[in-house]
Amino acid sequence: MLSDPQTSPSATPVPDEEIEAAVDQVAADAQDDIHPLFHGAPQSTEFRKLRKRIVRQTREAIEQYGMVERGARWLVCLSGGKDSYTLLAVLHELQWRGLLPVDLLACNLDQGQPGFPATVLPEFLQKMGVPHRVEYQDTYSIVVDKIPQGRTFCALCSRLRRGNLYRVAREEGCSAVVLGHHRDDILETFFMNLFHGGRLATMPPKLLNEEGDLFVYRPLAHVAEVDCEKFARAMNYPIIPCDLCGSQDGLQRQQVKQILDQWETNAPGRRQVMFRALMNARPSHLLDPKLFDFAGLTRRDQNDSGEQIDVAPPQLR
């Protein structure tokens, strides 16, 4: 007589964690075919968790900030750094899963920097079968000519780069320029504005350009820099360093990064706590009268009948 599998002592229930791990393994084995960008992806549990976390956080940002216009076309900016490679890969995974119903066009702006390996990105994108456009504009010469020796290039370089990317986006019929800035970029920018600009501001995850015809998206807004680093290195993408700005000493951003690194070392998780603060602003507990009507604030009082009434603050004469 066969024993009932539900009552047999040998039929031990499989824990939910093991089932989930098995499903993840099957999915991971199949995901190599998602896109050539993922061919050769490590099969370790650590990498699968990393990949899942980045995809989840990117999807959260896209949904939370309303980035998707069905049928739109995005210009995905690719510099050759770890962040832009991560951005390109995760957007293609979301597209493959049916969670990102937009057309993706990768774009690299070759700014004419001496020694820049101009063939690396075109060959990589061609090999991966990624639709792309490589645009050459010698902004390097302009920056070097306009910025005095010893001053940083970042501000002017960024403006020139952004202007060219807007132009390319319009020429290609794109509605959005998509950048690879991550959580740590956003935090560093906040502290740079706080320390040096005297304002509470940072890179928003979604921005409308001054002309009002293009969105700027940052889908990696919730993703940690260290995760981008681990992902791009594990995938062995051909990372190109920025020798124009990155080679200059004394940059304000590097100073802020060092401060944040020290805080994170002293109190692990501090970066994420500070990032959550950017999503939890309380205008009534700041000092900007343009955000909160302090002058019009009223208190509650009682009249002679015991009824609650609003009492306006006295006006200065």
- The pLDDT tens digits for 179-226 are 999 999 999 999 999 998 999 999 999 999 999 999 999 999 999 999
Q: 253-265 pLDDT, tens per residue?
A: 888 999 999 999 9
Q: 264-294 pLDDT, tens per residue?
A: 999 999 999 999 999 999 999 999 999 999 9
Q: Looking at per-residue confidence, does 50 or 298 come out higher?
A: 50
Closest CA to 100 of 35, 45, 43, 181: 35
Q: What is the mean pLDDT of the chain?
A: 85
Residue with tokens 């309380």: 282
**Which parts of the chain fold into alpha helices (H)?**
16-31, 45-64, 82-96, 120-128, 139-146, 154-171, 183-192, 225-234, 252-266, 270-278
Please classify residue 194 by burial: count the beta carbons closer than 10 Å to its beta carbon, then call 0-12 exposed, 13-18 middle and 19+ buried: middle
Core vs surface per residue 253-290: b (16+ CB within 10 A) or e: eeebbeebeeebeeeeeebeebbeeeeeeeeeeeeeee
And the tokens for 59? 């999807």
Residue 114 has pLDDT above 60, yes or no: yes
Q: What is the pLDDT of residue 245?
A: 52
Residue 249 has pLDDT above 80, yes or no: no
189 CB-near residues (< 8 Å, 6+ apart):
201, 202, 203
Question: Which pTM does this prediction carry?
Answer: 0.82
Residue percentage of the chain with pLDDT more than 70: 81
